[in-house]
Amino acid sequence: MKVCEIFTSIQGESSYAGLPCTFVRLTGCNLRCSYCDTVYAYTDGSELSIEEIAAAVKNAGISLVEITGGEPLLQGEVHRLISRLIDDGCRMLLETNGSLSIKEVDPRVVVILDFKTPGSGMSGEMDFSNLDYVRHTDEIKFVLTGSDDYVWAKEIIRKNHLSARCHLLLSPAYGMLPPEDLAKWMLEDRLEARLNLQIHKYIFGPDRRGV
């Protein structure tokens, strides 16, 4: 597998935010979001075997592990990697961009589906069948660049009855949408979702890698 980086930090997003977490960032992405903060993951990386990745994760000594990217589902071996790490005793998170099917993902992993809004420029690439496969333990994240994205996400949530089916995360795109504005809209609408800040950027700064 081509791996961009493996590192341990504080989980910055999702309902697991604030917990120590080891990240396995795989190389390659099929989308080009307007606000992408991991452009280096498009191509940077080294070839590692599943055994080598599992050994690095074990040496990190943290039970919570997230596989991310790039887009991890582009590499078919990711399914074997997920199952291996779970069998090793890891609590697994998988962050995926919503364009590829999650149907065959190991049901023991928590899927964080980063469903792209129009402001990303990639909403037309979404596989809407994924909304049929999310489970109550999974999470759907909408990164919002402004009020139009918020209205779009709110309609997706309503049409698909997502509030009752999984965890929902609304994330203001860093430096584009003030968190205070998003908080105001969510409170006005009594929206049953979590305001999701990228706390690692507030802790370590927005441009630092490996955090």
Which sequence spans correspond to the domains of the chain? 2-204
pTM above 0.75, yes or no: yes
CATH number for the segment(s) 2-204: 3.20.20.70
What is the mean pLDDT of the segment spanning 109-135? Answer: 97
Q: What pLDDT sits at residue 75?
A: 97
The pLDDT tens digits of the residues spanning 154-176 come to: 999 999 999 999 999 999 999 99
Q: What pLDDT sits at residue 87?
A: 96
The pLDDT tens digits of the residues spanning 95-106 come to: 999 999 999 999
The pLDDT tens digits of the residues spanning 61-73 come to: 999 999 999 999 9
Q: Report in angstroms the alpha-carbon separations of 190 from 11, 152, 163, 182, 187.
A: 27, 16, 12, 12, 5
Spatial separation of the C-alpha atoms in residues 90 and 106, rounded to whole Å: 13
Spatial separation of the C-alpha atoms in residues 181 and 83, rounded to whole Å: 40
Judge whether residue 38 has pLDDT over 80.
yes
Judge whether residue 210 has pLDDT over 80.
no
